[in-house]
Structure 1
Amino acid sequence: MARKQATRQSFNILIVGQSGRLQYEAILFAASLRQYSPGFQGRLFVAVPQPGPLWDTDPSIRSKEVLGILEALGAEILPFKNKVFGKPYPNGNKIEALMSMPEREPFVFFDTDTLITGELSDVPFDFKRPGASLRREGTWPKPTLYGPGYHGIWQSLYQRFGLDFESSLDLSQPDEYWRRYLYFNAGYFFGACPRAFGKRFLVYAQSILTTPPIELVGQTLDPWLDQVALPLVIHSFGGGRDALPDGYLDGTVSCHYRHLPLLYARESDHVVDVLETITAPNRIKKVLKSYDPIKRMIFQGRGHKVRAMFDQDNLPRREQAIRNRIKSNGFWMR
């Protein structure tokens, strides 16, 4: 059955770019957006952290060549100051950057290591009901031998912020199984107002980090803090795991590849074609070649050597097993 075309909406996109790997991934994201989503009419913001006391080096994008390509691809550089996180927890950039976005304009945040592989404007977002990526593993929490379990840990967090815990549960999943509890990958999320979303995200994350409930003793928050706070934020705004139909994001329209070796190992032929199509133009290739992992994986053919190591229709169940095989063959790069 043909999928009914969604009513196209206006919204903005936010990714984070900074010196090093992320600035080159920002080029890949922007190029894929322009090539594969010509119907997108919103603004693409590349949020760039600025030097300050929370960084021991300058995290901003200083390459004129990178900035020139991003501008040519229609991206808008959005400088922001870190007031809370910075180098000790760079994942917090996605939280703090939200508050520099245009207020009361719907937004979608993507991790920079994402490719747009289809028409983003056809995704049926309901921005009044926020959601996030369900392409995740049960990475947090890790209940200890003497408890509490998943139920007690998550319940303590909902109680901390006055949220209804029971309505967040997926009762089709068994008690004390991680999928029963609302949990997302923070690779993408969306909402109605980035500043309202970001403000609440920051309050929740700071509270969990500085005064965690007693039930979190023995739990690691680095690097999981954003993914611990995110479901609470989404639930507080009336969203949930069913906010977006399956098959669009992390499906036909976007791919959160994480690292290029993982892309070549496990993603579809279409995703590989997207990557190699957007990097073919000489003006883009010239800039990307200055980053060694991209040069070797894409332009020197290492990626296809990785791809040949795996049957994409019969992959190991856990990502770590894929990583380990790549590393043991000397092909891991990030």
Structure 2
Amino acid sequence: MAAKRNKSKPFNIVVVAQGGRLQYEAALFAASLRHFDQGFKGRLFVAEPQPGPRWPDDPRIDSAAVRKLLVEELGAEILPFVSHHFGADYPYGNKIEALRALPEGEPFVFFDSDTLVTGALSALPFDFSRPSASMRREGTWPEVPLYGPGYGGIWKSLYDKFGLAFEPSLDLSQPDEYWRRYLYFNAGWFFGACGPSFGARFEEYALAIRDDAPDALACQELDPWLDQVALPLVIHSFGGGRPGPELDGLDGDVTCHWRVMSLLYARESDRVVEALAEVTAPNKIKKVLKEYEPFKRLIFQSKGERARALFDREKLPRKEQAIRNQLKRENLWMR
């Protein structure tokens, strides 16, 4: 039934782009969405920060070819937004402030620009009344200090700060004081029922944590983790939580959050690499993406295949840093 509701009421998709790397990532995302989900009926927004005091340089898309490809060929809508609170000092805040510019009352799915669509995204049964986010994460935050507080004390202090019930957020199948017990997401994708409402609360919580954190966070680093600290609180406040198995296609066979193109070649499945080749084959896509040197070398000059040949996907190093180090030794680490 949920899938049928999605068909009768399309949702919007939003990614962020600005001058430099992100504009080419957004173009690749848009191209992959159009290639693999021709049934998508919603609006594709490419949110673009505007010049202002939070940006020392103009942050807008600076490639005319990228802008033309996005708008004229791929049907994206450029969505300008103003950086009131974050900007260059915390560019991850783009995903927070961009949501305020989305259409009021319309469901949305946010994706980091370094995501490849590999299947029919619009066929997934999103329940926008119960927001959620990506579980493809590691225990990156908090770093529990030697003498405490522990995970429970740190997270509970945040729920208490915003008047949220802590106990319902716990995964009781996980041991006490193990990071997976506590609601924590990767902010690479998340969704909700209304962009401006979600964004307003996300902004409120993030600023309150940044500017007036509970004492339990005294030893905690919030850069770059601020968005991922605030996100579970926002989702919980709207009645959401961990995604169910019906959304396994996200970070699965429908989308891939590749993060760094060298890592895509090193560790993602054959299907993802094949999908990337399909999406980037048309000349109208290729000629634009080749403006960006890492894409040019990895995708179109076979450096990606060299990187892939270094690793056995069935026996990858346990730590990502080991993969990075090997790629760097071979001069194949490119963002």
Counterpart mapping for 1:177-216 below 5 A = 177-216=178-217
Q: Secondary structure at the match of 2:133?
A: strand
Counterpart mapping for 1:120-159 below 5 A = 120-159=121-160
Number of the residue aligned with 1:111: 112
Deviates more, 1:225-234 or 1:282-291: 282-291
**Structure 1 or 2: more helix by fraction:** 2
Number of the residue aligned with 1:270: 271
Q: Using the TM superposition, give the Cα deviation of residue 64 of structure 1 relative to its aligned residue in structure 2, in angstroms.
A: 1.4
Separation in 1, partners of 2:234, 2:321:
28
Q: Is the 8 A contact 1:134 1:184 kept in 2?
A: yes
Number of the residue aligned with 2:12: 12
Q: Is the 8 A contact 2:126 2:247 kept in 1?
A: no
Counterpart mapping for 1:222-241 below 5 A = 222-241=223-242
Q: Secondary structure at the match of 1:261?
A: helix
Q: Which runs of 5+ in 2 are unaligned?
A: none
Number of the residue aligned with 1:28: 28
Change (3 A) 1:243 1:99: farther
Residue identity matched to 1:269: D
Q: Is the 8 A contact 1:129 1:243 kept in 2?
A: no
Number of the residue aligned with 1:66: 66
Q: Secondary structure at the match of 1:18?
A: coil
Q: Secondary structure at the match of 1:163?
A: coil
Q: Using the TM superposition, give the Cα deviation of residue 318 of structure 1 relative to its aligned residue in structure 2, in angstroms.
A: 2.7
Q: Secondary structure at the match of 2:3?
A: coil
TM-score normalized by the length of structure 2: 0.97
Residue identity matched to 2:257: H
Change (3 A) 1:68 1:246: closer
Q: Is the 8 A contact 1:126 1:243 kept in 2?
A: no
Number of the residue aligned with 2:255: 254
Q: Is the 8 A contact 1:126 1:244 kept in 2?
A: no
Number of the residue aligned with 1:162: 163
Q: Using the TM superposition, give the Cα deviation of residue 145 of structure 1 relative to its aligned residue in structure 2, in angstroms.
A: 0.6
Separation in 2, partners of 1:177, 1:328:
35
Q: Secondary structure at the match of 1:159?
A: helix
Residue identity matched to 1:87: A
User: What percent identity do the matched residue pairs reach?
Assistant: 65
Q: CA RMSD in A?
A: 1.2
Q: Using the TM superposition, give the Cα deviation of residue 5 of structure 1 relative to its aligned residue in structure 2, in angstroms.
A: 9.4
Q: Secondary structure at the match of 1:248?
A: coil
Aligned residues: 331
The runs of at least 4 consecutive aligned structure 1 residues that moved more than 4 Å come to none
Q: Is the 8 A contact 1:34 1:73 kept in 2?
A: yes
Number of the residue aligned with 1:82: 83
Q: Secondary structure at the match of 2:227?
A: helix
Number of the residue aligned with 1:57: 57
Q: Does the alignment pair 1:313 with 2:314?
A: yes
Separation in 2, partners of 1:28, 1:288:
8
Change (3 A) 1:242 1:292: closer
Q: Is the 8 A contact 2:14 2:111 kept in 1?
A: yes
Deviates more, 1:312-321 or 1:180-189: 312-321
Deviates more, 1:238-247 or 1:165-174: 238-247
Q: Secondary structure at the match of 1:6?
A: helix
